[in-house]
Amino acid sequence: MEGEMIEAQHVGRYLWASSAADGRRVLDAGCGVAYGSTMLAEAGARSVVGVDLAEDVLETVRARVPPSVRLETADLRDLPFEDDFFDLVVCFEVIEHITDQQDVVRELARVLSPEGLLLTSTPNRAVSAGDNPHHLRELLPEELESLLGEHFVNVELFRQEAWYSSAVFNDTDFTSKGRSAGDSWPVRKIATHDLGTEEFTLAAGSDGALPELGGSIVLTNDKTRYWVERARRNTQLARDRNETLKETRERADRAEQALRKAERERDRLAAALAERSLERRLRRGVRRPVATLRSAHRRIRRRASR
């Protein structure tokens, strides 16, 4: 169940962002296997560009995203886009992997239009306690708010946490993976959390007025849902591709080492052959003058004996 909850948290963030995607030019910064990019495109985004440093991962999923999604390899600290290029930038669960977070947020702000919107998130360091060794700098809620506040006029925090729930549906909704457009279900919260105790902190930043983003709810269970299946399948494909690339590189390295060894042996044999050839030539060169001297010596002795 823990795996499904983690995936539901990832999907929940993109579901929340999808409410702001309609008609916008969207950048999914740190898109990974691009399941979130696909969700944003299907929410009505005019276009979606997903960027990530892992080109091998992007190559694996590039053929599986909608035509309106373009995937590019890029460093978030130096994006290959003009100023004001996007209307919405989504950057979920990325900044905690980076130490120079100011540079990243500054660059994301640069590519946003004047009224553009940045949505980002981080694990709450007060709750996670830095348990993930791959996270270089997790933030407290107030630190995330301060980070965005240095680059945007308006900032609002949102909180993400797992909740126990009970749902009642008819047969159609009970067995479907989504919900029909226009449907509305009543939701009642009978429990609360204190601010600062959330597992993840999300933030919206803009120089314009912030839209009414509201919240999002993702229901999951021990059966793998549609987006979970897609994310896991793409992740596994990426891992398989990485393993294949690793094995190919190792074979290439071994072949190169064998080639270098063969070249060294070839050079050694060539040097030995050249040395022997020189030795033979020297011997022939010495024998000729010795024979000449001996012949002259015999002639002199014959003359002397007369």
User: 3-state secondary structure string, 108-133?
Assistant: HHHCEEEEEEEEEEEEEHHHHCCCCC
Q: How far apart are CA 234 and CA 60, in angstroms?
A: 8
Give pLDDT tens digits along the chain (306 positions): 444 556 677 788 898 899 999 999 999 999 999 989 999 999 999 999 999 998 989 998 998 899 999 999 999 999 999 999 999 999 998 998 888 899 999 999 999 999 999 999 998 888 876 677 788 788 889 999 999 999 999 999 998 877 667 777 777 777 777 655 556 777 777 777 778 777 889 999 999 999 988 777 777 765 445 555 666 667 667 767 777 777 888 888 888 888 888 888 888 888 888 778 777 776 666 566 656 666 766 777 777 666
Q: Which residue has the tokens 């398989």?
A: 240
Let me know whether 149 and 281 are in one domain: no
Let me know whether 201 and 73 are in one domain: yes
Count of domains forming the chain: 2
Q: What's 128's domain CATH number?
A: 3.40.50.150
Let me know whether 208 and 294 are in one domain: no
Let me know whether 33 and 176 are in one domain: yes
Let me know whether 203 and 129 are in one domain: yes
User: What pairing do the DSSP bridges indicate for beta strands 25-29 and 154-160?
Assistant: unpaired
Let me know whether 249 and 286 are in one domain: yes
Rounded to 10 degrees, the C-alpha dihedral 124/128/131/136 comes to: 10
Is the overall model pTM greater than 0.75, yes or no? no
pLDDT at 227: 57
Let me know whether 9 and 152 are in one domain: yes
User: In which domain, by residue range, is 240 found?
Assistant: 224-306
